[in-house]
Structure 1
Amino acid sequence: MKHREYQIEWSLIGVAILVAVISLIADYYSTDYNWFARSGSVVVLLAAFVEFKISSHIYEDIQRAQFMQSKITMSIPLKAKPTKPRRNVSFAAHILLVVGTIIWGYGDLIWS
C-alpha cells in the first residue's frame, strides 16, 4: 500500500523546515527574542510526530498481514524491508530530530 506517498508526513517535514527558516529570518531582524532557538523545539516535535505516523503505518501493515493470515512456507527467513518512500520519510524525520535538537540547544549562540 502506498499510503498516498506519505503526503501528510512530507507536509509536516516541510512545515518544520519552514518554521526554522522563518524563525531564523525573524531572529536576524530582531534582537529581543531567540526565535531560532525556540523553533528547534517545534522542529523536534513535528519530526517526532512524523516518526509516530510512520510507526502507525508499520502497525497497519502488521494488522493487515494478520488479517490475511498468510503464511510463507520457506526454509529461508525473509527480512522485512520498508518501502523506499517510507525509508525516505523516516530518514528525513531522523535528520530533523537531530537538527532540531541542535537548533534547540545551540540556536541562541548564532547571533552572540
Structure 2
Amino acid sequence: MGPDKKGEKVNFGAAPGSPGAVTSSGLFSKVALGWALLLMALGMALAAYLGVFKPVSERPGAWFSRSGALITVLSIYAERVLASLIPGLNNAVMKHVRWISVPRHISFWMIVLGTIVWGYGDLLFDARHSVG
C-alpha cells in the first residue's frame, strides 16, 4: 500500500495499525525536518566562516571551529529523526525511498565534517587565510 490521504496509515512494511506503521504526513514531516536540520547546520557553518555574530574578542578561526560542534549536533539529530522512520519500512521499500536514504548519507558525512571542523577548524581557517 502506498501513500494515501493525508494522515492515513500507510503500510510501509509494518502491519497495518501497528505502532511501526508510518503515516504519510508523518513520513513527509520527518524527512522535511531532517533536511531542515542539515541545511541549518550548513548555514551555521557558513555564517561562522564569514564571521557572523563573532564576538570582537574571538579569533575568526576559533569562531569557525566552534561551528563544528553545531554541525555535529544538528547532523546527529537529523540522522536520529531519519533513522526513526526505518522500523516502519521494510528493506524492499527502502531501496526505492531515496528521499530518506539520501539525507541519511548526507547526515553521516556532515557528522564527519562537523567533527573535523570542531577539532581542526581553527587550523584549517588560519591556513586558508594565511596563504597569499
TM-score, normalized by length of structure 1? Answer: 0.73
Aligned length: 95
Deviation for aligned residue 1:31 = 7.0
**Following superposition, which runs of at least 4 residues in structure 1 exceed 4 angstroms of deviation?**
none
Structure-to-structure mapping, 1:28-47, within 5 angstroms: 32-33=58-59, 34-47=62-75
Residues 34-79 of structure 1, C-alpha deviations (whole Å, 9 max, x = no match): 11100001000001001111121113x06xx8xxxxxxxxxxxxx5
Match of 2:34 in 1: 9
In angstroms, what is the RMSD of aligned CA positions? 2.4
Amino acid of the residue matched to residue 39 of structure 2? G
Q: Which has the higher helix share?
A: 1
SS state at 1:52 partner: helix
Structure-to-structure mapping, 1:1-112, within 5 angstroms: 3-4=27-28, 6-26=31-51, 32-33=58-59, 34-59=62-87, 61=88, 79-80=91-92, 82=94, 83-109=97-123, 110-111=125-126
SS state at 1:111 partner: helix
In 2, Cα distance between equivalents of 1:94 and 1:106: 18
In 1, Cα distance between equivalents of 2:69 and 2:92: 33
Identity of aligned residues (%): 25
Gaps of 5+ in 2: 4-23, 128-132
In 2, Cα distance between equivalents of 1:53 and 1:32: 33
Match of 1:73 in 2: none
Gaps of 5+ in 1: 66-78
Deviation for aligned residue 1:32 = 2.4
In 2, Cα distance between equivalents of 1:37 and 1:92: 20
Structure with bigger RCO (C-alpha 8 Å, 6+ apart)? 1
Amino acid of the residue matched to residue 111 of structure 1? D
